[in-house]
Structure 1
Amino acid sequence: MVSESGSQCTWAQNSGENRLTPWANDPVCDPTGEALYLRDEETGEVWTPTPLPAGSGKPYRVVHGAGYTRFEHNSHGLEQCLTLFSSPEDPVKIIHLKLKNNLPHTRRITATQYIEWVLGTTHTTNMAYIIPEYDSTLECLLATNPYSNEFGKRVAFLIASRPVHGLTADRTEFLGRGGTFTLPVALLRLGLETRITPGEDPCAVLQLHMDLMPGATDEIYFVLGQGNDKQHALDLVKKYHDPAYVGAAYERTHIFWDKFLNTIQVKTPDKATDLILNRWMIYQTLSCRIWGRTGFYQSSGAFGFRDQLQDVLALLPIDPTITRSQILNAANHQFEAGDVMHWWHPPSGRGVRTRFSDDLLWLPYVTALYIENTDDFKILEEIIPFRRAPELIDGEDERYGEYSQTDLSFSLMDHCQRALEKGSTYGLHGLPLMGTGDWNDGMNKVGEEGQGESVWLAWFISDVLNRFGSLAEQIGDLENAHRYKSRAKKYIKAIELSAWDGDWYRRAYYDGGETLGSKWDDECKIDAIAQSWSVLSSGGKTSRSHHAMKAVYDRLVQHQNRLSLLFDPPFNKTNLDPGYIKGYIPGTRENGGQYTHAATWTAWAFAKMGDGRRAGELFDLLNPIYQADTYEKALAYRVEPYVICADIYSKEPFIRRGGWTWYTGSSAWMYRLGQEAILGFQKVGSALVMDPVIPPEWGGFEVEYKFGETHYLIQVRNPAHITRGIQRIELDGHFFSGLTIPLVDDGIEHKVFVFMGKKLR
């Protein structure tokens, strides 16, 4: 992880529990535990090729791409290019420096790479236990933390591309007592003292010399990594001492990301849509949400049960094996009773058991969608153990621990069925119990006493039951198919009977029976997700759902501020206690701000209704590129314009300010919103379904899909400028009725034309 200032944090396996270098949640100072210093040996000047911690004061150009970050800088008579990237196949990070001498005399430059070891969660709690070591034969600094329960055998290392001029493993020696990263004391003198002492204040510092003739260019690199054990670490050291291999690793990084991100490429009339869908949303989802599970606002390292299950849905048409793996990973963290761990840390599986009511239902939901996409019914036969633990007792909302696995394993089908049974609860109004939160974690007090009910959850579970009921039909389990679909109807009937408020659906009922999300409430009168899921679940009465979505558009979409709110008004003075959500400032995060995850559902609901104008309008509204395409917008937004953020504030003085970028599940939903709901590109079994719902001003668009070794070039034409409707489909000169395009991986390029319009008789 790297910021535009050059602040960096590196980890292996678990970004929260096994950080190699520090993570700092300080957007003001942006401190770092990694830095590369340059020193002119003639003048003694010291600076960094990054803006921090010791920038030269001259401009820097920062390029962040898929799998790499590059800093370009010109100062002190040197053109400087620092590139950071990680290997696609090994646990190493490569720090590559290229210098060009633009002065008419020879330059002697010292490059000093500094690494502050953590080997755990924080430097201060682990520094006394870290054991540094220097291997003089391989010229590598090693470090272990044998007191780490889960990562104690792993060995971290730092190496350089040429003979080392100086080294130390003592942080105090390098920085000095009370020293700063701006000018370490060790860089005010020649050489380093080669202190390798355990139990002190550990770091890793390697120093190299670079001699540059006038006009000459020189390149060096450092490699930071961690092996499973010492032998593995030394094997990696030997491998990455080879400059040719390091250069090839950079190319392999580009090849990997280009292949993955280019699987589906779109070309629409809107360039910002293309940029988001072709690279950034799916890159954010895989690199940050699924692999890293960390960001600048939160460094977790844990898997969230519902979180990563939703994330991997975006990867289904690209690499369904990732989706499959996460389904099985999630099932492995389910208890015998059917409930699940809200989150857990790999590799031990330590995590928290809670009373969240929706977590467990995402397992059958995602499993059903995975099978619909892949026809991989065999996944239902996969055998996975449960977790074993006493159930939560009365008054116990959560319990953190490391839970053992059952001796016996059970099929994924059994896991999904137990989730459906455990999740099928009923309150006074026939709606499912909310527990200590449904999708909205912040509403953790609404149903804390076991009586509160969730309208959103009723929509969601009805959708899950219907999907799994259809799946049961496909495998011949007619008894469960009937049972699940009947149960779904029962929930929908309860919603229509008890949750319709006259203009929209209520959000929930408190333990005491008070309404939440009603037009009679002073705060949180209308909640978006109770309306959008009446459409997304296909359960709501059409007239009511459409009326409710109009209320969402009129009351929650702020065109002038480019916001699509979660609910309104925010919680502030109500005597009722919905939960910790009320602790947020009104208009912040879930408390009446734009919560982008839910905002994608609002847009998707309009797409499902066939309203391409509003769906496209809301997609543009959510697109981060359009949040910062002018100086005034960027000044208000203040966060990256190329990745999605979790929330945007809706009240002054912070209105339109973004928050919590990168590490948000809204990236996967934003990608699916554009790809599936608006462009209508969906893979179903061994076929593609094209059912676009687009803005009427679009005359068409193109999709290039790489299916194995085969390219499908799809051109959608919309001469009548309608929002929805397929007249006919042409595949390699053959016409098809309906919306389906058969897929065959035959290595041939196929051309598809999709003509929008009224169906031909």
Structure 2
Amino acid sequence: MKKYFESKYGYFTDDEYVITNPKTPKPWVNVISNGDYSIIVSQNGSGYSWRGNGSENRITRSFQDLIKDNWGKYFYLRDLETKEYWSLGLKPVMHDYDFYEVKHGFGYSIIKQVKNNIETELKFFVSIDNPVEFMEIKITNKTDKKKNFDLSSYVEWVLGNFPDEHREFHKIFVDSKFENNALYYDKLISSFLDEKGRHNNKSWDQIAFHAVSEKVKSYEGDKENFIGMYRTEANPIAMEEDVLSQKTGRYTDPIGSLQVEFELNPNESKTIVYIIGTAYKGKEDPKEFVKAFANVEASEKEFKKVVKFWNELFDKEHVETPDDAFNLMTNKWLKYQAISGRMWAKSGYYQVSGGYGYRDQLQDSLIFLPLDPSYTKKQLLLHAEHQFKEGDVLHWWLTIGNWGPRTKCSDDLLWLPFIANYYIMETGDYSILDEVVPYYDGGKDTFYNHCKKAIEKVFSRFSPRGIPLMGDNDWNDGLSAVGTDWKGESFWVAEFLYFILKEFKKFAEYKKDKKFIEKIDDVLENLKEAFNKYGWDGEWFLQATTDDFEKVGSKDNEEGKIYLNPQLWAVISGITNEERIKKSMYSVTKYLLKDYGALLLAPAYTEPKTDIGYITRYAPGLRENGGVYTHAATWAVWAYALLKDNEKAYEAYKKICPPNRVKDIDNYLAEPYVTPGNTDGPLSPYYGRGGWTWYTGSAQWLHRVGTNYILGIRPTLDGLEINPCVPKDWNGFKYKRTFRNSTYLIEVINNGCNIKEIYVDGKKIDSNIIPSFEDNKEHNIKVILN
């Protein structure tokens, strides 16, 4: 087994991240989801479960504390002769151990430890297509004498929306019972309205269950009986009692514990399976779930299905480059983070989401394009359903109740046509434009008209100078006070719109929408002229103007002189001339490209500014305020690559590629196997510290800029474009990719920056566009650069 990027806390293998020291600088977690039911597992064995979303429908209890990491589904193993006990993860007992190792894999986590010559292995995973999580436990007696043990689970229930400030109120509505070797939980109150719109007059719509594969010795439904007054999970009174109290019902502080007893001969092993899950009332039967899954055979079968699912998905695209970090992240971890963590679980340890962000999960859905574009299509249609007839959209919406705030953000609505463009280039599926989709406020229309209305809504929000208005903010949410009176302008939105219009024009042509084509041409011309007249600041482009017509991101500002996004999107959009592009990107290199990636702005704001927004209220160098906001930092790779600046593109990539941070891991703190939302900038005393991992849109974008712009292989309507931008010290790379039902096996030999020859199945072609075969076959592509 080859080890990569080893640090004092762990290392990568091709299929897992292995933690060898559980006392990592911050909790290093895995986010495991099947798109419906999700769990988080930390290296300590802590974490929690939810169904649907982690805010509105939490199943087990958690509290957001990255210091303590002290909420979880815990297991206590007790030697019945010595009365010594320990937990199967480091938490909650925090015992000494002889060996401890955690393997975070794709769809599972395994905690293995040895104490007193007893080896335990605790495997967490979620069924790929059922609302059931498994905790498969293997215990091996490595002593030379027979041992007697009992094993007790411990779960504290939430069951829906169970906020801390109303904890004592909510707990009294939970009812529990033990029946046929399993615990079942109902909650007689829900935070959602009943059929007549009345609060607090509706039951939770699910039943939770907790079961085990062995015959239960005793059980517990009351927290006080298990923990004891003035004790903690580290030393529960239950571990001093022969059996649990077997108390359930409506008068408890609801927890769940199932205790089983067994003996092991020397060198004998035993596997025990615990499950947790929920069943929707009237639609699913909790007892059937228990019957089907609370056994070892089912656990083994379900685990194989999980591994098979992820392997088959990953196999659709594979890279082999001289850069191990690039390979590890691109082949598996970025895909897994974007899908399991961001699209499906929609949560991490740093942030819990209750639903979909309009722009957020649309961008994340791009990860599916080389894997299974049907998921991207599904996301596009879902987001179109959350658009109003006027063209504006919900900024976000909750998945339970389907409600959210109507956005006054200037870019949200534009991500619908932006992502639609990439979906159609990937698939050639123009038929999506004719799909009929309802509006959020009634009525329905074709998907084409949904996209068109989004664009037309932005057309109605231009300043007298011809620049799109900022509204509550643009992509940078922290610019929350720049344009709330609908007077301030966003030069970044001007670039973003310009890019979208150029691409969307071909769809208008497909629909023979002559009037809209004319409108697009007119706006493109005027927008380009206005942007270059008012947006240029001499060495770079402005970010915005405020409602009071003050410049943002200008040399005239004392702080926040230069913003990253308008410089990058000047390149990406093609809205300006070559001379200005060179100047503005030179400024990016000079002022923003630092040790850990491209800063979002510089210099950081040191005092709050009421005409800018909450971005100025972050500490200097923290998050968007002069830190590396990874999402935008990936776009720097894109811009450098478009300029064919191979070395700078690769430098901007390497600096934000997480495995490269293991060299200073105690400064970085965050998991090296997933992207962080941000890294502290130069003015922070913790310069280089990573944070907000897992739930960040940066994962998909790091994957995309790596494959589409460094490897330079990207879909077009006519086929796969080959345009590599790799560093000169690479001898080449191999790239396997599915595209429109064919598999492309691409080999690039790097002798320089330009394409010399391309061969398709042994025949030389004159174009750098590889045609779309759509024949369910493999095709060999050889590219020679000089």
| TM-score, structure 1 normalization | 0.93
Structure 1 SS opposite 2:404: strand
Post-superposition CA distance 1:86-113 (Å, at most 9, x none): 1111111100111111111111111111
Structure 1 counterpart of 2:403, one-letter code: R
1:326 is matched with which residue: 366, 369, 379? 379
Which 10-residue stretch deviates more, 89-98 or 370-379? Answer: 370-379
Q: Does 1:753 align with 2:782?
A: yes
What is the rounded CA distance, in whole Å, between the counterparts of 2:519 and 2:684 in structure 1? 50
- State the match for 1:69 in structure 2: 109
Alignment of 1:201-216 (within 5 A): 201-216=253-268
Post-superposition CA distance 1:128-163 (Å, at most 9, x none): 3543333523x2111122322568221111110111
Structure 2 counterpart of 1:468, one-letter code: F
Structure 2 counterpart of 1:209, one-letter code: E
Structure 1 SS opposite 2:308: helix
What is the rounded CA distance, in whole Å, between the counterparts of 2:517 and 2:684 in structure 1? 51
Which 10-residue stretch deviates more, 150-159 or 243-252? Answer: 150-159
Structure 1 SS opposite 2:59: coil
Which 10-residue stretch deviates more, 675-684 or 637-646? Answer: 675-684
Residues 111 and 272 of structure 1: is their aligned pair in 2 closer, same or farther, counting only changes over 3 Å?
Answer: same
Post-superposition CA distance 1:638-694 (Å, at most 9, x none): 100111001111124111111101100011111101011111122335732221111
What is the rounded CA distance, in whole Å, between the counterparts of 2:128 and 2:265 in structure 1? 35
Alignment of 1:515-664 (within 5 A): 515-558=551-594, 561-573=595-607, 577-628=611-662, 630=663, 633-650=664-681, 651-664=683-696
Asked whether the 8 Å contact 2:370–2:737 carries over to 1, the reply is no
What is the rounded CA distance, in whole Å, between the counterparts of 1:714 and 1:213 in structure 2? 55
What is the rounded CA distance, in whole Å, between the counterparts of 2:292 and 2:310 in structure 1? 22
Deviation at 1:709, TM superposition (A): 7.3
Structure 1 SS opposite 2:591: helix
- State the match for 2:473 in structure 1: 437
Deviation at 1:591, TM superposition (A): 0.5
Q: Does 1:225 align with 2:277?
A: yes
Alignment of 1:300-315 (within 5 A): 300-315=353-368
What is the rounded CA distance, in whole Å, between the counterparts of 1:486 and 1:211 in structure 2? 81
- State the match for 1:392 in structure 2: none
- State the match for 2:179 in structure 1: 136
Q: Does 1:86 align with 2:86?
A: no
Residues 220 and 575 of structure 1: is their aligned pair in 2 closer, same or farther, counting only changes over 3 Å?
Answer: closer
Structure 2 counterpart of 1:416, one-letter code: C
Asked whether the 8 Å contact 1:23–1:299 carries over to 2, the reply is no
Structure 2 SS opposite 1:31: coil
Residues 302 and 155 of structure 1: is their aligned pair in 2 closer, same or farther, counting only changes over 3 Å?
Answer: same
Structure 2 counterpart of 1:12, one-letter code: R
Asked whether the 8 Å contact 2:46–2:69 carries over to 1, the reply is yes
Q: Does 1:170 align with 2:201?
A: no
2:448 is matched with which residue: 389, 397, 413? 413
What is the rounded CA distance, in whole Å, between the counterparts of 1:84 and 1:573 in structure 2? 46
- State the match for 2:538 in structure 1: 502
**Identity of counterpart residues, as a percentage?**
35
- State the match for 2:188 in structure 1: 146
Deviation at 1:706, TM superposition (A): 4.2
Deviation at 1:169, TM superposition (A): 1.2
- State the match for 1:393 in structure 2: none
Structure 1 SS opposite 2:691: strand
Structure 1 counterpart of 2:399, one-letter code: P
Asked whether the 8 Å contact 2:177–2:249 carries over to 1, the reply is no
Asked whether the 8 Å contact 1:563–1:656 carries over to 2, the reply is no
Deviation at 1:610, TM superposition (A): 1.0
What is the rounded CA distance, in whole Å, between the counterparts of 2:633 and 2:458 in structure 1? 25
Asked whether the 8 Å contact 2:608–2:617 carries over to 1, the reply is no
Q: Does 1:28 align with 2:67?
A: yes
Structure 2 SS opposite 1:582: helix
Post-superposition CA distance 1:458-478 (Å, at most 9, x none): 101111122111221133223
Asked whether the 8 Å contact 1:130–1:143 carries over to 2, the reply is no
Deviation at 1:571, TM superposition (A): 1.4
Q: Does 1:423 align with 2:458?
A: yes
2:407 is matched with which residue: 354, 358, 368? 354
Structure 1 counterpart of 2:43, one-letter code: E
Asked whether the 8 Å contact 2:63–2:71 carries over to 1, the reply is yes
Structure 2 SS opposite 1:715: strand
Post-superposition CA distance 1:519-575 (Å, at most 9, x none): 1111111101010000111212111012101110111112xx333211101112476
What is the rounded CA distance, in whole Å, between the counterparts of 1:330 and 1:156 in structure 2? 30
Structure 2 counterpart of 1:609, one-letter code: L
Structure 2 counterpart of 1:263, one-letter code: K
Asked whether the 8 Å contact 1:129–1:147 carries over to 2, the reply is no
What is the rounded CA distance, in whole Å, between the counterparts of 1:161 and 1:659 in structure 2? 39
Asked whether the 8 Å contact 2:356–2:396 carries over to 1, the reply is yes
Post-superposition CA distance 1:207-230 (Å, at most 9, x none): 111211011111101011111226
Structure 2 SS opposite 1:387: coil
Residues 53 and 496 of structure 1: is their aligned pair in 2 closer, same or farther, counting only changes over 3 Å?
Answer: same
Deviation at 1:246, TM superposition (A): 1.5
Which 10-residue stretch deviates more, 477-486 or 106-115? Answer: 477-486
Asked whether the 8 Å contact 1:452–1:513 carries over to 2, the reply is yes
Structure 1 SS opposite 2:559: coil
Structure 1 counterpart of 2:215, one-letter code: P
Asked whether the 8 Å contact 2:738–2:744 carries over to 1, the reply is yes
1:96 is matched with which residue: 129, 136, 144? 136
- State the match for 1:193 in structure 2: 245
Residues 477 and 238 of structure 1: is their aligned pair in 2 closer, same or farther, counting only changes over 3 Å?
Answer: same
Deviation at 1:385, TM superposition (A): 1.8
Q: Does 1:273 align with 2:326?
A: yes
What is the rounded CA distance, in whole Å, between the counterparts of 2:44 and 2:334 in structure 1? 23
Residues 199 and 409 of structure 1: is their aligned pair in 2 closer, same or farther, counting only changes over 3 Å?
Answer: farther
Residues 645 and 575 of structure 1: is their aligned pair in 2 closer, same or farther, counting only changes over 3 Å?
Answer: closer
Deviation at 1:746, TM superposition (A): 4.2
Deviation at 1:256, TM superposition (A): 0.4
Deviation at 1:81, TM superposition (A): 0.9
Post-superposition CA distance 1:191-250 (Å, at most 9, x none): 112111214311111111121101111110101111122642222111103422221101
What is the rounded CA distance, in whole Å, between the counterparts of 1:15 and 1:261 in structure 2? 26
1:727 is matched with which residue: 733, 738, 756? 756
Structure 2 counterpart of 1:91, one-letter code: P
What is the rounded CA distance, in whole Å, between the counterparts of 1:577 and 1:661 in structure 2? 30
Deviation at 1:282, TM superposition (A): 0.9
What is the rounded CA distance, in whole Å, between the counterparts of 1:686 and 1:490 in structure 2? 30
Residues 642 and 496 of structure 1: is their aligned pair in 2 closer, same or farther, counting only changes over 3 Å?
Answer: same
Structure 2 SS opposite 1:20: strand
Alignment of 1:346-385 (within 5 A): 346-385=399-438
